[in-house]
Structure 1
Amino acid sequence: MVQRRPLVAGNWKMNGSRSESATLLDGIRKGVSAASRAEVAVCPPYILIPLTAEKLAGSPAAWGGQNLSVHKSGAYTGEIAGPMLRDYGCTYVIVGHSERRTLNGETDAVVAEKYGAAQAAGLIPILCVGETLQEREANQTEAVVARQLDAVLDRHGIASFRNAVIAYEPVWAIGTGKTATPQQAQEVHRFIRSRLAVRDKAVAENTRILYGGSMKGSNAKELLAQADIDGGLIGGASLQAEEFLTICRAAD
């Protein structure tokens, strides 16, 4: 039986002053154990990545970006390139988060291009997929998730997932306080793994699939107990050290 190492990644979104973030990072560093089975990472706003690198250097925790440009450099005001993230020690970068898809109009094709740019820069993409409430109510969950996955698979191939993470984020459960039941989440995670397995069973078995819909300390244990849920992409709960660490311990 494949033993996938759990990953708990905090997505801070557009939150945190320098002083607030320093306190948060100190708390995370203090609470993360090198003996932990679960891997821990945080993805702060770009401007806080240097502080994060400073605070977490030498600790078991990793860090990453929330987005990146498809370009390596150039006249792209306001953008951040993958090599820049790597230069500050980033391991991960979130790609295709639902907020980028809906608020910034990122298409499946753009997300696939960013996924490739991340890997070309030596970063591990955390590829986000998931359906809206309207799509779920119309029984389109699997069709939507398949479309989003296939855009990446068709462009970069199944082998690329040896160095990638997937995060299933039901859009209707992000920042709403609503959470998919463990059974609902497991069903979609199982579908994602089966979708990969059609192309390569071994890659599918080794790919980590995170749950990203309002996971918190109180529901993490039950969600993480599911066979195909390998960790969490944590939003609001990652802004409080003890709450975040509670999830990390549940993943352990």
Structure 2
Amino acid sequence: MSSRKFFVGGNFKMNGTIKSIKAIVENLNQSNLDQNVEVVVAPPSLYLLLVRDHLKPQIEVAAQNVYDQPDGAFTGEISAHQLSDSNITWTILGHSERRTLLGESDAVVSSKTKYSINQGLGVIWCCGETLEQRESNQTVAVVTGQLAALKEALGTDAAAWSKIVVAYEPIWAIGTGKVATTEQAQDVHAAIRGWLKENVSPAVAEATRILYGGSVNDKNCKDLAKQADIDGFLVGGASLKPAFVDIVNCHL
């Protein structure tokens, strides 16, 4: 058994209303969640304080993005300092929807990650490949290329890497209902851990939690969770539903 604490993140994306998010929070507050699992939820920025103020303290809250500059004249952005000031302890960075729809490059994602870590935030750092890249056997090259850009920003500093949770999300499986087989997911997770061992350090490779994301639900989570290098999930649509609790409790 790994000593890495299982981690389940819920990415609400651009979904929810005051009413629906209060209902999600109430359900989480009333549920008996596995105490051996670290749970973090990421509502839209408009509702960050609503969630933090009403959610039980055992569950942490993440932003879905953060800017890599101090407070200042950056209209529409949120700073790491403002998140910390609001007791928001995590942020998601590098999600494929921002990489592809908004054109965030590896360099931009790496800069945001380094800045967030330096400001004390934990980072759920996302990577993944397209269907075309998967079908042309480029998956590992794409994912390790994204990791290499991150290493260029962080170096081999174990303290910095300890603030990162890696989320492998095959782009072709996000919101499509498709999910990588347990073998496909495990193979990529093992490759990520192997890359970290060779390029950062064996200690960082052993300690880093690697999550699977991409149409995770209460039906497929148990089999995925049994894989040696899958240390949790980054859940999209299912995080808006009561079944999110079942995903958190997949080991019970």
Superposition TM-score tier, normalisation by shorter sequence: over 0.9
Deviation of 1:31 after TM superposition, in Å, equals 1.0
CA distance in 1, matches of 2:7, 2:101: 27
Distance in 2 between residues matched to 1:216 and 1:225, nearest whole Å: 15
Offset at 1:114? 0.6
State the partner residue of 1:18.
Answer: 18
- C-alpha distance in structure 2 between counterparts of 1:197 and 1:162, whole Å: 14
Q: 1:138-197 CA deviation, whole Å, 9 max, x = no partner?
A: 110011001100101122123221221000000000000000001000000000000000
Residue 247 of structure 1: SS of its match in structure 2? helix
CA drift of 1:83 comes to: 1.0
The reply on whether 1:179 has 2:179 as its aligned counterpart is yes
- Between 1:84-93 and 1:19-28, the stretch displaced more is 84-93
Whole-Å separation in 1 of the counterparts to 2:230 and 2:8: 11
Match of 1:131 in 2: 129
SS in 2 for 1:39: strand
Structure 1 contact 231–251 (Cα < 8 Å) conserved: no
Give me the whole-angstrom Cα distance separating, in 2, the residues matched to 1:125 and 1:41.
Answer: 11
Aligned to 1:201: 202
**Are the equivalent residues in 1 in contact too, given 2:6–2:38 (CA < 8 A)?**
yes
Task: State the one-letter code of the partner of 2:144.
Answer: A
Quickly say closer, same or farther: Cα 1:251–1:116, change in 2 above 3 A.
Answer: farther
Instruction: Describe the SS at the equivalent of 1:250.
Output: coil
CA contact (8 A) 1:130 1:171 kept: yes
Match of residue 85, structure 2, among 84, 87, 112:
87
Structure 1 segment 161-176 matched on structure 2, within 5 A = 161-176=161-176
Secondary structure of 2:39's counterpart equals strand
What corresponds to 2:97 in structure 1? 99
Counterpart position of 1:244: 244
The whole-number CA distance in structure 2 between the counterparts of 1:55 and 1:135 is 42
Displacement of 1:121 in angstroms is 1.7
CA contact (8 A) 1:8 1:251 kept: no
Deviation at 1:57, TM superposition (A): 4.2
In the TM superposition, what are the counterparts of 1:98-117 in structure 2 within 5 Å?
A: 98-117=96-115
What is the aligned partner in structure 1 of residue 35 from structure 2?
A: 36
What SS does the aligned partner of 1:131 have?
Answer: coil
| Structure 1 counterpart SS, 2:110 | helix
Percent sequence identity is 46
Structure 1 segments, 4+ long, off by >4 Å, are none
In the TM superposition, residue 251 of structure 1 has moved relative to its aligned partner by 4.4
Aligned pair 1:226/2:219, yes or no?
no
Equivalent residues of 2:29, 2:56 under 8 A apart: no
Classify the secondary structure of the residue corresponding to 2:217. coil
For the Cα contact (< 8 Å) 2:67–2:112, is it kept in 1? Answer: yes
Aligned counterparts of 1:232 and 1:247: Cα–Cα separation in 2: 8
Question: Deviation of residue 243 (structure 1)?
Answer: 0.7
Matching of residue 54 in structure 1 with residue 49 in structure 2? no
Q: Assess if the C-alpha contact under 8 Å between 1:32 and 1:61 holds in 2.
A: no
Equivalent in the alignment of 1:5? 5
Q: 1: distance between equivalents of 2:207 and 2:88? A: 22
Mapped partners of 1:246, 1:39: distance in 2: 14
1:133/1:172 contact within 8 Å kept = yes
Residues 251 and 120 (structure 1), Cα distance of their counterparts in 2 relative to 1, 3 Å cut = farther
- What's the TM-score, normalizing by structure 2? 0.96
Query: 1:207 deviation in Å?
Result: 0.4
Contact 1:69/1:79 (CA < 8 Å) preserved in 2? yes
Report the CA distance between 1:25 and its aligned residue. 0.5
Which structure 2 segments of 5+ residues have no match? Answer: none
Residue-by-residue CA offset, 1:19-38 (whole Å, 9 max, x unaligned): 110011010111144x6111
Seen in structure 2, the aligned counterparts of structure 1 residues 251 and 119 have a Cα distance that, compared at 3 Å, is farther
Correspondence for 1:213: 214
Tell me the TM-score normalized by structure 1.
Answer: 0.96
Does structure 2 conserve the Cα–Cα contact (< 8 Å) formed by 1:92 and 1:125?
yes
Give the C-alpha shift of residue 2 in structure 1.
4.1
Matched to 2:66, the amino acid is: L
State whether residues 182 and 222 of structure 1, in contact with CA within 8 Å, keep that contact through their aligned partners in structure 2.
yes
